[in-house]
């Protein structure tokens, strides 16, 4: 199954962009009558037939559409501080997309070592992962957002903050193991901090705004690893047994 991303598709006919046309005709060596799949990233999976095998303007016809293809029973927003080494953050975007995420929010924190990202580049990483993992839903990617702005924004669902500051445990803010408190099929927002963790002020602000403190286990995890682990835990907790 070859999947192409076409957010602007309006069935039954569509023309692939030059880059996708070249990949289809020159790389995959598909021709007239061959089939491929297109998704608009909104849940529609289109089975298509090639009508014009042009390496610059490959034309297709939609012959079957599956709506809400493999739709997740929950919505997950992962708010993560981009790492100093951007490749580690991009690794997270790729792997989390494969597992299943609704929305990515890069956040700027007090201890952030990276305060600039290339939004278009990171979006391409996500799109590539969508096609590679055969997803019909394309996660959204917010602009870089100040942490406190995100915390103060309205969110309907469960809100969690993963941090490593043990002093909060001594104050009675017990961190709970994420899988033990996830409510199945509910919307979820998870905050993952930078390499230097969230500052005490940021943790306090999150707790004051309804976030629950969580742990992802006994191991000390790097930012991108913690973010992937949280994504997988959420997926597993929402899997039918």
What are the domain boundaries of the chain? Answer: 3-66, 76-237
Residues 39 and 97: their CA atoms lie apart, in Å, by 15
Nearest to 164 by CA among 124, 135, 191, 127: 191
**Is residue 215 predicted with pLDDT exceeding 70?**
yes
Q: CATH assignment of 76-237, given 3.40.1280.10, 3.40.640.10, 3.40.50.2000, 3.40.50.200?
A: 3.40.1280.10
Lowest mean pLDDT among 113-122, 135-144, 161-170, 192-201: 161-170
User: Is the distance from CB of 55 to CB of 22 less than 8 angstroms?
Assistant: yes
Q: What tokens does 26 get?
A: 């020159």
Could you give the C-alpha distances from 29 to 60, 138, 214, in angstroms and in order? 15, 26, 50
Nearest to 88 by CA among 221, 236, 238, 241: 221
Could you give the C-alpha distances from 149 to 43, 79, 113, 169, 187, in angstroms and in order? 29, 12, 19, 25, 19
**Is residue 3 predicted with pLDDT exceeding 80?**
yes
Q: Could you report the per-residue pLDDT of 154-171, keeping only the tens digit for each?
A: 999 999 999 988 888 777
**Range 116-125 average pLDDT:** 97
DSSP-derived secondary structure letter, 81:
P
CATH architecture classification, 3-66? Beta Barrel (2.40)
């Amino acid at each position: 199954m070859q999947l192409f991303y076409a957010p602007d598709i309006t069935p039954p006919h569509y023309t692939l962009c030059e880059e996708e046309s070249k990949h289809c005709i020159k790389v995959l060596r598909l021709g007239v009558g061959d089939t491929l799949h297109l998704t608009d990233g909104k849940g529609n999976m289109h089975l298509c037939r090639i009508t014009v095998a042009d390496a610059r303007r490959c034309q297709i016809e939609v012959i079957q559409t599956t709506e809400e293809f493999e739709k997740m029973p929950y919505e997950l927003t992962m708010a993560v501080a981009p790492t100093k080494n951007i490749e580690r953050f991009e690794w997270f975007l790729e792997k989390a997309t494969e597992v299943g995420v609704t929305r990515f929010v890069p956040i700027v924190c007090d201890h952030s070592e990276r305060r600039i990202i290339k939004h278009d580049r990171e979006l391409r990483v996500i799109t590539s992962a969508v096609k590679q993992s055969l997803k019909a839903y394309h996660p959204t990617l917010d602009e870089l957002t100040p942490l406190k702005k995100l915390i103060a924004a309205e969110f309907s669902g469960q809100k969690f903050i993963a941090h490593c500051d043990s002093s909060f445990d001594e104050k009675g803010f017990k961190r709970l193991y994420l899988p033990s408190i996830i409510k199945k099929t509910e919307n979820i927002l998870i905050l993952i901090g930078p390499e230097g963790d969230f500052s005490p002020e940021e943790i306090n602000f999150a707790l004051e705004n309804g976030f629950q403190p969580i742990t992802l286990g006994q191991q000390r995890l790097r930012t991108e690893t913690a973010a992937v682990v949280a994504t997988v835990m959420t997926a597993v907790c929402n899997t039918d047994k």
